Amino acid sequence: MPRFHWTDETDATGDLAAAYADWFAANPGRPRVPDVLKCFSFRPDFFRDVDAMSQRVHFSEGHLSRRLKEMIATYVSALNGCPY
């Protein structure tokens, strides 16, 4: 349960609804926006910035392959008991 209010997809309006729609378009097959991104729902501009940064850092090829980054993230999440 979050400690502060965020806006779910079904309640989003205006700029946030557009930001969520863009996120879904860029992430086909995903049933919902991850809660960790919803933390930024109060600032749709910042939501977009954080998502763009995350895509560049986590989901692009670089020194480490995306596959290796995903494996590291999965392992750390399991160690921490985190569902992400």
CA–CA dist 7, 80 (Å, integer): 26
pLDDT digits (tens, 9 = 90+) for 21-77: 999 999 999 999 998 899 999 999 999 999 999 888 877 778 888 889 889 988 998
pLDDT attached to residue 84: 63
Tell how far CA 32 is from the center of its chain.
Answer: 10
pTM (two decimals): 0.75
pLDDT attached to residue 51: 94
Does 1 score more than 70 pLDDT?
Answer: no
**Is the four-CA dihedral 5, 11, 13, 17 of positive or negative sign?**
positive
CA–CA dist 53, 24 (Å, integer): 16
| Amino acid making up residue 53 | M
pLDDT attached to residue 3: 75
pLDDT attached to residue 4: 73
Tell me which residue has tokens 């995350």: 54
Query: For residue 39, how many other CB atoms are within 10 A of its CB?
Result: 16
